[in-house]
Every structure is written in structure tokens, then in C-alpha cells.
Structure 1
């Protein structure tokens, strides 16, 4: 997939260089906003960028039987924590503050404490952010629409 991003980048450079800096910033904001919506939808669907489902939570020993729990990362995917930043040179979708540490642990499958003085647990890797083929098509469409205006 990384080769595809380089191809998209090489294709877009010529088109983007013909735009003014303010035009590039407007386009970058549109791209970042659309990518954030795509990431939020994918996190809500509990799937990795390659289409595989997230590893399920480990069963809780002391939880009530039949208890319905909310989906993983339901608050993490909100616009309060998943921010966009757009300049004339870049469009960024990233987690902010303390949430960034939590997202990194889950994204890469690292070890972390469950509670402040609780046990250390190895979390399964669940890729929260990533570029899919559909995202690349969306970016290409947004560039074409913006340049065509």
C-alpha cells in the first residue's frame, strides 16, 4: 500500500503546485476533514485499514454475565479527540493529548497499565488510523474537483 501512496503523491504534486498557497490550504482542510470522517467510520465498524476486524476484547473475569458493553474506542473517535490540522503543505489527522498515548498503545499493540496502580497488560494491535484504497480514491477525487473549479 505504501507504493500506492507514493504514486498518488507523485501524481498530485504537479496539480497542487499550480494552486496558490491559500487554495492548497483549503484543499488540505477538505482532505483532512474527509479522511477524519473515513477514519471515524472505520473505527466505528471496528476494522483495520486492511479490512480485517479488530481483535475482540479479552473476557472480563468479574463482569456481569450478559452485560452489554459499548464498542471499543467510541469516545476516541469523536472530533474532540481526533483532530485535523491543515496547512498549505500538509493535511494531518491525529489524536490529541493523553488520548494519543492510549491510541498508540492500541495501534501498535504495546504494553500498558489497565489502571493507575493496576497490572501491566499487553494489548492486541488494532490499527486505529491508516490509509485504505478507498481513502486514496477519495483524496484523488477531491484534488480533481478542486483543480477543476
Structure 2
């Protein structure tokens, strides 16, 4: 995977050097949006970048105060929205990541760290769930975005 990324970087560097900074920024925004959509779909499917499923949540009592059983919700439902998962693209770089207070939550799950579920609670060791990562599909998105842009050039 790393060698594929390095080969694409070498190939794309020659093409990107021919573009003006404004055109590179426009291309970076387009590719960044597509990469964010790809990451959102993967988080919605509850999959790591390598295709394996996320580690399941720990068992807990699902009865609420009124005696009803709450349905199991998919993890990271709000984190995958565009409000929290941001992309930034300029003439030199494209980044996809989390901003604000949710970045801490995402980091704990991304690396499998210890954290408190709520203020004053004991520290819990979380399973590693890769929210962000680069897979072959993302490599295809970048390549197709470059080819589409240079095809209209």
C-alpha cells in the first residue's frame, strides 16, 4: 500500500507542477470532498481501512429510566457528519480529520487509548477502531480525480 502511494505521488507530482496554484486548490477541494465521503461511508459501514469490522461495543445495561430497552445504535453516527468530519484542501495538501471537542473522542478510538466515558468516571480502555485511514479505494479516488481533472484540461 505504501509503495502504491509513493508511486502515485511521483506520478502526480509531475502533473501537478504544471498547474497554477488556483487550479491546484480547486482540484484539492474536489478530491478532498470525495475522500471525506469515502471515509464517511466506511465509518457508516463500521469498517476499518483494511476491511475488518470495528470491535463491538462492550456489553452494558440498555434499560433507560422509563423501563424501555433502547435500540443499539451504530457507533459514531454524529462523528461521520460533515459538521465534525472536515476536509481542507489548498494548493499543497489535502487533509481529512475531526475538529473541535470530538477530535479527542476520535483520537481515543483511532489509537485504542484510555479515557473517561463521562466526567468523574473511571478510566476505560477503548478498543482500536480506525475512523480515518487510507485504503485502496481512496487511492483510486485520488487517481480518478486527477485523471478527470487533466482529461478536461
TM over 0.5: yes
* Aligned-pair CA distance for 1:63: 2.1
1:63 and 2:66 are equivalent in the alignment: no
Quote the residue 1:76 is aligned against. 79
* Per-residue deviation, residues 103-135 of structure 1 (Å, max 9, x unmatched): 000000000001110010000000000111011
* Aligned-pair CA distance for 1:69: 2.0
In 2: Cα distance, 1:68 partner to 1:37 partner: 26
Quote the residue 1:132 is aligned against. 135
TM-score computed with the length of structure 1 as normaliser: 0.96
1:113 and 2:112 are equivalent in the alignment: no
Quote the residue 1:123 is aligned against. 126
Quote the residue 1:25 is aligned against. 25
Match runs of 1:93-108 below 5 Å: 93-108=96-111
Quote the residue 1:9 is aligned against. 9
In 1: Cα distance, 2:59 partner to 2:98 partner: 27
Q: Helix, strand or coil: the match of 1:97?
A: coil
* Per-residue deviation, residues 34-92 of structure 1 (Å, max 9, x unmatched): 000000000000000000000000000x3228531210000000000001111100111
RMSD: 1.1
- Tell me, which stretches of 5 or more residues in structure 2 are unaligned? none
In 2: Cα distance, 1:3 partner to 1:120 partner: 39
- Tell me, which stretches of 5 or more residues in structure 1 are unaligned? none
TM-score computed with the length of structure 2 as normaliser: 0.93
In 1: Cα distance, 2:4 partner to 2:110 partner: 22
Alignment partner for residue 88 of structure 2, among 71, 85, 95? 85
